[in-house]
Amino acid sequence: MLSALRHRSLPVIVDYFSEGESTYLLMEEVEGRTLAQLIDDDGPASEAEALRWALEIARVLDYLHSQDPPVIFRDLKPENVMVSEDRHLKLIDFGLARHFDPGKRRDTEAIGSVGYAPPEIWEDAAQTDARSDVYSLGATLYFVLTGRPPSPVYGTHRLAPYRPDLSTEMETLVLRCMDPDPAGRYGSAAEVIRELLLQISRTDEPGPSGLPLREEVRQEVVRRPVASSGPVRVAEAEAPDSRPLGRSQRAAALPTWIPALMALATLLFVLGAFLGLRSVWLVGPVLEEETHSIHNPDKEQARRLLAQGDLRAAASFLDLAVTRYPADAEARILLSNTYALMAGPKPIRIPALMSLTGFDAPEGYRLLHGIAAAQVEFNQAGGVDGRLVVFDLYDDGSDTGKILEITDQVLKDPEYLVVLGPFSSQRSLVVAPLFNAARMAFLAPVASDPRLWEAGHYVFTASDSNFPRIRSLAHRLVASGYRTAGVVVDRDSVLSSSVAGYFRDQFEGLGGRVVCDTTFAEADFSQALAELREANPDTVFFSDYRGAVLAQFAKELRGAGLHAQISSQTAPFTRDLLADGGSAVEGLLLSGYYHFDSPRPEVQEYVRRFRQLFGSLSTSHLDATAYDATRILLQALASGARDRQSVRDYLASLGAEGGRPPYAGVTGTFALARRLDRREVYLVEVRGGTYHLLEKDVR
């Protein structure tokens, strides 16, 4: 069980073996003190440090619980948490861990640590589950904050007598985790993570560095360097040699090549540790909205090795990169690329035109998570005729001029049969004539401008138009009693204008009245705010897809004393919207074609797989749509498409009369060459710093 787990807060398990009557475990050395020793030596932790530690523990618990089957730790306590010199954490001692079996009535053994184990662990008719680890997390935090072991008498714990300086929110979090009734606790580690991130975003308490905790957590992430416009690809290399190797290395010759290569990468990590090459954790916990900003030293070292053609060494660093920074989807793609090259047959190469830097990066980077999830799934299944897929990542820098340069470069490469991307509608429309002229298909995962469906025979999008989403917003607002609206448009965006026009038509068609129609540019809202102040509408529709821009507008609107209900084109789950907007975006109304709480089996299976790859990072419509788009391209290849025209024909056949059925995926049912607008619309309200799914679409 341990050897299959890869997380920055777990020790790396390399091997185990038996000699005589003894059994041995070969694992990474974890230096530092246990959490119990540290608190005994230094006294109770500050609330800021406790929040940081709680976030790290909750994230690793969420990773364990998302395994298939889930792994329940069962013995979380300060003695089983190591604190490194840079004050980051690792769980140790999995002696009581077990796989959760939903068919069992109770645990095989009732074993736990008194005070830290929940009451159900001692009951004959109960089975421990994820909520049991949540209780132990609360008990561990109780010790960290008070320096006192939690009482074995359940339901008697209080923090205020020992820490009157603690915030009410922190005490509430700890005591809810420690509720004797599992139904009264947080339902999962993921729920705890959301509460912790909310508290971190609101606290002004300084962290260990002296900065406010929320700034410290963000600034631990160094902004990634600007990528070149060339592909981020791995060098071609000969297959690994076949000379006799040790037991772990001999496994590389087995047909199940992925586990073998993972073992090889792990072995190289340990060898590096003995040679003094091991890296330490260089950054702390990463807030979810900062995935595009991850600076991953192991990934950068791997790039240099890939450029030299040293695939084995690069694989070891990339294995570290995805273990230490599970949210780094770019590192995950590079790791899959490297394995594909090491597998033997020449891989299938697909260029992905992404916005990894520039103003679209916060949203654009999220597409990589969906691409990575589909790539791992496809390659682990064996690819097509033994050929695996490699994604060459091109960064357009959110710039029209750069994507024209990249397009010219891609069209000249005869290996490329189809293109994934671009991110935005505007850049998709710019390059459409070039791809049409070259008779090479491109599939934009999330571009939604209606003109894309008329842009040419080689232009495709996995998105539906925004119109059903906007129609649902207008219906909800009118049904809620709003009668006058202000509309705010980005004057430099054609998509913003078209979406705003559709909102006007819908709102007024339902009996409402648009009393203010204004614009902004370059996030300068001064003119728009002046006009809104004069018109004083009931509600404001902000026509822009960027979370950070919407957050800034909401703050300035509230700062101007205007309390109108805000709705927006921005799709739910944009991380910087909540982090930057704070209380100003409370009550914000949004809509989308995806929600991770949807009961659809396809959605729940995707969420499970996503969390296995990326830890506690939440899914969004961006990665889910990119996942669907990538799977369609890979299915085209699996169906026998072997040249540019046959790939194009497959994409065009989906949902066509006499062709293949529309694609039914995680984000719903859709076609690529025509608007079906059959996806389910989810209405979402920002409530309590989270994206709350409303009960139903009122249409």
Could you tell me whether strands 71-72 and 98-99 are parallel, antiparallel, or unpaired per DSSP bridges? antiparallel
pLDDT at res. 451: 86
If we measure between CA atoms, which residue out of 116, 164, 153 comes closest to residue 138? Answer: 116
Residue 356 and residue 395 in contact, taking contact as beta carbons nearer than 8 Å: yes
If we measure between CA atoms, which residue out of 370, 294, 361, 281 comes closest to residue 320? Answer: 281
Residue 340 corresponds to which tokens in the numbers above? 């594909």
In this prediction, residue 29 has a pLDDT band, given cuts at 50, 70 and 90, of confident
Segment 107-133 shows an average pLDDT of 70
If we measure between CA atoms, which residue out of 576, 517, 518 comes closest to residue 550? Answer: 576
In this prediction, residue 664 has a pLDDT band, given cuts at 50, 70 and 90, of very high
Percent of the chain with pLDDT over 70: 84
Percent of the chain with pLDDT over 90: 54
The secondary element (H helix, E strand) that includes residue 443 is strand 441-444
pLDDT at res. 124: 52
Q: What is the DSSP string of 318-383?
A: HHHHHHH-TT-HHHHHHHHHHHHHHTSSPPEEEEEEE--SSTTHHHHTHHHHHHHHHHHHHHHTTT
The secondary element (H helix, E strand) that includes residue 314 is helix 311-324
pLDDT at res. 580: 85
pLDDT at res. 209: 67
Residue 12 and residue 132 in contact, taking contact as beta carbons nearer than 8 Å: no
Q: Is the pLDDT of residue 211 over 90?
A: no
Report the DSSP beta bridge partners of residue 565. Answer: 539
| Amino acid identity for residue 152 in this structure | P
Q: Is the pLDDT of residue 20 over 70?
A: yes
pLDDT at res. 273: 39
Which segment of 298-307, 666-675, 688-697 scores lowest on mean pLDDT? 688-697
Which segment of 184-188, 288-292, 436-440, 526-530 scores lowest on mean pLDDT? 288-292
Q: What is the rounded CA–CA span in Å between residue 412 and residue 433?
A: 16
Q: Is the pLDDT of residue 587 over 90?
A: yes
Residue 112 corresponds to which tokens in the numbers above? 């736990």
- For residue 577, what are the CA distances in angstroms to 180, 223, 251? 35, 19, 47
Report cis status (omega within 30 of 0) of the bond before 69: yes
How far from chain centre, in Å, is Cα 194? Answer: 13
pLDDT at res. 272: 43
In this prediction, residue 409 has a pLDDT band, given cuts at 50, 70 and 90, of very high
Which segment of 213-217, 250-254, 408-412 scores lowest on mean pLDDT? 250-254
Q: What is the rounded CA–CA span in Å between residue 406 and residue 412?
A: 10
Segment 121-150 shows an average pLDDT of 85
How many other C-beta atoms are found inside a 10 Å radius of the C-beta of residue 696?
9
For 509-546, b/e burial (b = at least 16 CB within 10 A) is eeebebbbebbbeeeebeebbebbeebebbbbbbbbbb
Q: Is the pLDDT of residue 252 over 70?
A: no
Segment 160-187 shows an average pLDDT of 93
- For residue 559, what are the CA distances in angstroms to 410, 563, 583? 47, 9, 11
**pTM for the whole thing?**
0.66
pLDDT at res. 245: 28
In this prediction, residue 96 has a pLDDT band, given cuts at 50, 70 and 90, of low
Q: How large is the greatest C-alpha to C-alpha distance in the chain, in angstroms? A: 86
How far from chain centre, in Å, is Cα 111? Answer: 35
Q: What is the rounded CA–CA span in Å between residue 277 and residue 271?
A: 8
Segment 333-345 shows an average pLDDT of 92
Q: What is the rounded CA–CA span in Å between residue 609 and residue 618?
A: 12
Segment 477-502 shows an average pLDDT of 92
Q: What is the rounded CA–CA span in Å between residue 512 and residue 108?
A: 63
Q: Is the pLDDT of residue 462 over 70?
A: yes
pLDDT at res. 571: 81
Q: Is the pLDDT of residue 221 over 70?
A: no
Residue 215, Ramachandran bin (φ over 0: left; ψ between -120 and 50: alpha; else beta): alpha
Higher pLDDT, 209 or 625: 625
Most confident range, picked from 61-65, 482-486, 694-698? 482-486
In this prediction, residue 305 has a pLDDT band, given cuts at 50, 70 and 90, of very high
Most confident range, picked from 116-130, 208-222, 274-288, 670-684? 670-684
Could you tell me whether strands 71-72 and 89-91 are parallel, antiparallel, or unpaired per DSSP bridges? unpaired
Q: What is the rounded CA–CA span in Å between residue 470 and residue 473?
A: 5
In this prediction, residue 235 has a pLDDT band, given cuts at 50, 70 and 90, of very low
Burial class (CB in 10 A: 0-12, 13-18, 19+), 620: buried
Which segment of 131-135, 200-204, 501-505, 580-584 scores lowest on mean pLDDT? 200-204
Residue ranges and CATH numbers for the domains of the chain are 31-219 (1.10.510.10), 247-443 (3.40.50), 467-592 (3.40.50.2300)
Q: What is the DSSP string of 586-641?
A: TT-EEEES--TT---HHHHHHHHHHHHHHTTPPP-HHHHHHHHHHHHHHHHHHTT-
Instruction: Quote the mean pLDDT of the chain.
Output: 83
Most confident range, picked from 126-130, 227-231, 415-419? 415-419
| Amino acid identity for residue 361 in this structure | A
pLDDT at res. 99: 55
DSSP assigned state of 46: P
Which segment of 138-142, 269-273, 329-333, 645-649 scores lowest on mean pLDDT? 269-273
Report the DSSP beta bridge partners of residue 567. Answer: 541, 589
The per-residue pLDDT for range 283-293, each reduced to its tens digit, is: 223 334 456 66
pLDDT at res. 83: 92
Residue 422 corresponds to which tokens in the numbers above? 């671009």
Q: Is the pLDDT of residue 50 over 80?
A: yes
Burial class (CB in 10 A: 0-12, 13-18, 19+), 662: middle
**What separation, in Å, do the N-terminal and C-terminal C-alpha atoms of the chain show?**
49
pLDDT at res. 97: 56
